[in-house]
Structure 1
Amino acid sequence: MLSLDWLLEPMGFAFMQRALLTAVATAIVCSIFSCFLVLKGWSLMGDAISHAVLPGVVLAYLAGIPLVVGAFSSGLFCAVATGFIKEHCRVKEDSVMGIVFSGMFAAGLVLFSRVNTEQHLSHILFGNVLGVTDAEMLQTLFIAAVVTLIILLKFKDLMLFCFDPIQAKVVGLPVRFYHYTLLCLLSLTIVAALQAVGVVLVVAMLITPGITAFLLCKTLKTMLVVSVTSSVIAAVSGTFVSFYIDAATGPTIVVIQAGLFLLALAVHLLRKSAKPHTGLDAANEVKL
């Protein structure tokens, strides 16, 4: 039988305390935003911006400015460039995102391979939550708190914008403003998650909790609760498991999130098979 002392042993290390706080803060903000991404159909946008931050990070390092500034600027440029190209040519949005993010990610890899430095930048690609400093932890906590606060303050407006942009425009909401506000918040969320899981895995943190909750819930408020709960469980358990098995923390968190998604999928399929299918099922999936 596992002893409580053995389970709590990792918390005796300062780096584990910082890692756990960073992972939980990242999990909360990503899971909240994940619900809006899933309902808005912006999963590919999250993937695009998460990869597009790489050149900004490398350029910020070369310029000697905070990496968060470069990451945010690069992610925002990707989002704005995608919208501009979509509005001024016949190419569909998913194709534009594919072109923009793949081009920026490739440019970042070229710059990344040419940087000669004693500081290994691979943690930007794959995350290094166990190695976060006090300053990086506070930065993540601050960004997560700001994004979460903005979403909660504008919850009803963002909810209407995500569910029905046309109705939002009819009632007088500045749709374009909320469109770019969400993109800015998405860029900030990705910056906050870089320390935990890196560029490559950040999209999983942004999408998996929302999809998991979407399978189990029929209201947005319940969806948010389930999304945050599953994400925090994955963050805490993934951090502890990675300590005991000596594995990378970010991938461990993502693997546990994937496991929770499979569990939710199984529950969803059991529910579906237990009741007769009607034409109203699709309309009742998620309600305001």
Structure 2
Amino acid sequence: MLEALNYSFIQNAIIAGLLVSIAAGIIGSLIVVNRMVFLAGGMAHTSYGGIGIAIYFGLPIFLGATVFSIGAALLMSYLTLYQRERIDTFIGLIWACGMAIGIILVDLTPGYNVDLMSYLFGTILAVGSDDLIFMAILVAFIIVVVSLFYRDILAVSYDSEYASLRGINVKVFYTLILVLSALTVVIAIKVVGLILVIALLTIPIYIAEKLSNSLYGMMVISALLSSLFTLVGLYLSYTFNLTSGATIIIVSAMSLFMFIIYKKIRVGA
């Protein structure tokens, strides 16, 4: 694969994979700790509505998906805070409507023949320079926000009642975590697609959770694991001509499987 590094699309793919891995490590940890996996899955599929809007109006895909996903995150935040008894129904409704809107708008776009698989399973090898800039900006924003409010986010994530007694606005930070999750989902679309993004946000985090004793440690380890899985997945997909996003997830899943076996053998020894 060394000769492949001379190609710009491979270089872009590697950079994109590392950027997404950093975001996935940070936000994936927050998603798991706050038990938001179902919400993140809803946002991942809802973001397809933003893709459809961008295609229909001739806007950048990332821009449309970002705005639409943030709107969905704010709506989900409101529903989970004030309509908890029906949250599964509302999330399913938002999920379905978002994808339906995207599909219909794509159908209505004159002369546009889109391959839906590219958004469902990712097209990391098609990442361009403009995409990298947008992804880098979003990742930098995520890092800055989490760094500035780390203590507050930590308190809200592990003990919201204690955080509230400390004067922390739990609702605001809960919403902030959802918005950051939406941004992470958006930048992960190019790498693994809408269908597989949840695996990227949970598998490395599960392993990291067992190897660390702090939220910060979980973020760092999961980001490193995500980077490793992404690079190995890219290598295998290039070597055997496989779909990159799916290969990255299979590598992650196999690594999780081996980790679980290792832990069981170690405990039994």
The counterpart of 1:251, out of the listed 230, 246, 255, is 246
Q: 2:229 — aligned with what?
A: 234
Corresponding residue number in structure 2 for 1:283: none
- Alpha-carbon distance in structure 2 between the residues aligned to 1:90 and 1:36: 20
**2:94 match:** 100
Match of 1:138 among 133, 139, 150: 133
User: In the alignment, is residue 151 of structure 1 matched against residue 153 of structure 2?
Assistant: no
Stretches of structure 2 that go unaligned for 5 or more consecutive residues are none
User: Match for residue 41 of structure 1?
Assistant: 35
Shift in CA distance, 177/89, structure 1 to aligned 2, threshold 3 Å: closer
1: CA distance, partners of 2:4 / 2:29: 32
Q: Is the CA contact (8 Å cut-off) linking 2:106 and 2:114 kept in structure 1?
A: no
Which of these residues, 251, 260, 265, is aligned with residue 265 of structure 1?
Answer: 260
Deviation at 1:129, TM superposition (A): 0.8
Name the residue aligned to 2:12. 18
Deviation at 1:84, TM superposition (A): 3.3
User: 2:239 and 2:53 mapped to 1: Cα distance?
Assistant: 36
Q: Give distance in 2, aligned partners of 1:125 and 1:245.
A: 21
Equivalent residue number for residue 21 of structure 2:
27
Match of 1:166 in 2: 161
Q: Is this contact kept in 2: 1:215–1:268, CA < 8 A?
A: no
**Aligned residues with identical type, % of pairs:** 23
3-state SS of 1:120 partner: coil
Compare 51-60 and 136-145 and name the one that shifted more.
136-145
Q: Say which SS state the counterpart of residue 47 (structure 2) adopts.
A: helix
Kept in 2, the 8 Å contact 1:216–1:264? The answer is no
Aligned residue number for residue 182 of structure 2: 187
Measured in 2, the distance between the counterparts of 1:86 and 1:34 equals 19
Deviating more after overlay: 37-46 vs 63-72:
63-72
Secondary structure at the residue paired with 2:85?
coil
Q: CA deviation at 1:166?
A: 0.9
Aligned length: 268
The Cα RMSD (Å) is 2.0
Residue 55 of structure 1 aligns with which residue? Answer: 49
Alpha carbons of 1:109 and 1:269: their partners in 2 closer, same or farther (altered >3 Å)? farther
Aligned-partner Cα distance in 2 for 1:209–1:148: 18
Unaligned runs of 5+ in 1: 1-6, 275-288
In 2, the alpha carbon distance for the partners of 1:28 and 1:83 equals 24
**Which is bigger in relative contact order (C-alpha 8 A, separation at least 6)?**
2
Residues 90 and 46 (structure 1), Cα distance of their counterparts in 2 relative to 1, 3 Å cut:
closer
**Deviation of the 1:135 alpha carbon:** 0.8
Question: What SS does the corresponding residue of 1:45 show, helix, strand or coil?
Answer: helix
Q: For residues 17-70 of structure 1, what are the alpha-carbon distances to aligned partners after superposition, in whole Å with 9 as ceiling and x for unaligned? A: 011000111111111111111110000111000000111111122112222222
1:165 to partner: Cα distance: 0.9
| Equivalent-residue separation in structure 2 for 1:25 and 1:230 (angstroms) | 13
Whether the aligned pair in 1 keeps the contact of 2:39 and 2:76 (CA below 8 Å) is: no
Check 1:90–1:8 CA distance in 2 against 1; reply closer, same or farther (3 A cut).
Answer: closer
CA drift of 1:153 comes to: 2.4
Distance in 1, matches of 2:121 and 2:110, equals: 19
Q: Computing the radius of gyration over CA atoms, which structure comes out larger, 1 or 2?
A: 1
Pair 155,267 (structure 1): closer, same or farther in 2 beyond 3 Å: farther
Which residue identity does 1:164 align to in structure 2? D
Following TM superposition, by how much is the alpha carbon of 1:271 offset from its aligned partner in structure 2, in angstroms? 4.5
Shift of 1:193: 1.0
The DSSP-based 3-state class of the residue aligned with 2:216 is: helix
Residue 196 (structure 2) pairs with residue 176 (structure 1): no
**Counterpart in the other structure of 2:197:** 202
Distance 2:11 2:84 in 1: 50
1:239 partner letter: L
Tell me the CA shift for residue 116 of structure 1.
4.2
